[in-house]
Chains A and B, each alone.
Chain A
Amino acid sequence: MVRTLYKLELVEKIAKILDEMPAKPKIEKDVTATEAIQKLDKSIRSMQKKNFTLEEIAVILSKNEMKVSVATLKSALARSPAKKAAGSAQTATSGDKPAARQSRPVPASSDAKTAPDAAQENGSFAVKEDRREL
């Protein structure tokens, strides 16, 4: 399989363009398209939060000499170590609320798959566990 390689300077230039972050430290070797996209994971997610689609991001990358398909973008991001770290951050519970908000009882949420207490006063409800036998 033929791999497309990109100069690290190009990866650094695109990172700046995407989110104006400081330049990344130089790495001695060239990287593959997948590696390049995974290095840009945070910048790309930041662009998505700014309502850019993957199609639009692929166009921006292509205009900056990194020609990648949307399929390659999706595949690389799905396998990105940064996504796996973000995925664990997605399991955040109501405990993530700022301290100032804790004056109300905490709504029934997320501890994984345990039977929560009875419905809270703030309109949340208890999610019953499935019966063991039917």
Chain B
Amino acid sequence: MTDQTPDKNDAIFSAMLNSSLNGVFVLDANYQVTIWNQRMESFSQIQASQAIGEPLFNLFPTLKGKRIELSIKNAIQHNTASILSQALNRDPFPLLSSKDDGTPIKQTIHIKPIQAKNDVRLCMVQIQDVTPSLRRETILRDIANEAEDAKESAEQLTQVKTDFISTVSHELRTPLTSILGSLGLVCGGVTGELPTQAASLVSLAYKNGQNLLLLINDLLDIDKIESGNMEFNFKNTDVMAVVDEAINRFGGFATAHNVTFKITQHLKTTTINVDAHRLMQVMSNLLSNAAKFSPQDSTVEISTSLNNNKARISVRDHGTGIPENFIPKLFDKFTQSDSSDTRIVGGTGLGLSISKAIIEQHGGDISVESELGEGTTFHVDLPIAAETAPTNNPHL
């Protein structure tokens, strides 16, 4: 500060200046220092008593020829204010931090012209230490970079996986179709009656081939869903028509497992807008699961109702039920309960995952309730359509 005896205003001004976290100094029209606050003393290691009265460019010769010199001169000569950002000006003042063991500080500089009494021209320079902020921003950028790299890697991996599944599935399906065709003809007696043992072996091969084909088709469906390439053909239909058609088409599951499919509750005319083929795929999965996991001579109950303004189709079996800790994973891919009977009944482990994706594409939900020893109920909730709904869903 200057060596004048401070009055009250001077005392206040001095207190404000010296409590600033910024380095502040003032130059006169000859670029000589007239004010030099405590923060500048700390940053520069130059005391006010040494700085005041000295030309700034003698104190800091490295400033000459730099933008800071021009900006200061413009302030004095042309009344122009300037800002020197850290990003575009690499710390023109040789200043050190008192906190970080004397490392150079990163600087943002404000230069402001002051017109004092009698047209006296002054220039105030404020230097802000932005080192901590810059450090935080660098960390933020590094994290953002890493996240971007990780996202890119994950996307590439997903694409590789998707391409692999698609290619392999297609390459497997073609010869398998041919194999099944031939085995089917043999099983059907085209080549004449087979010896008992041969017939049994051919039948086993045919059944396993069909299971393999199911798996491949499921893999292809998963691939289509994940890549967004599964196409839907939405049309209006009555919900009971869907249920009747499903029971009619998949009655064979009931016969094969010695159970009965029974409709226990009818919903009056309720229109849903669905892709009939894909919905049959879901019904096939639910009915086949229910039949597989039901005790012999039991009944699989199918009902329709309203649930929160949606049409609900429920499929209930009286099997062993699903352990509670397994339910959250039920709709994940390649997941089957560890209970012993599942190894006998088979399945690809993809059916429920595919069903969930299909129902979600319809704007609906699929959920499950289960109690060990009592059985399991799957609920499919679908939005109700207006009588004259458009053919293109999506989700009405």
Partners in one complex: no
Residues of chain A touching chain B, judged by Cβ–Cβ distance below 8 Å, are none
Chain B residues with a Cβ under 8 A of chain A: none
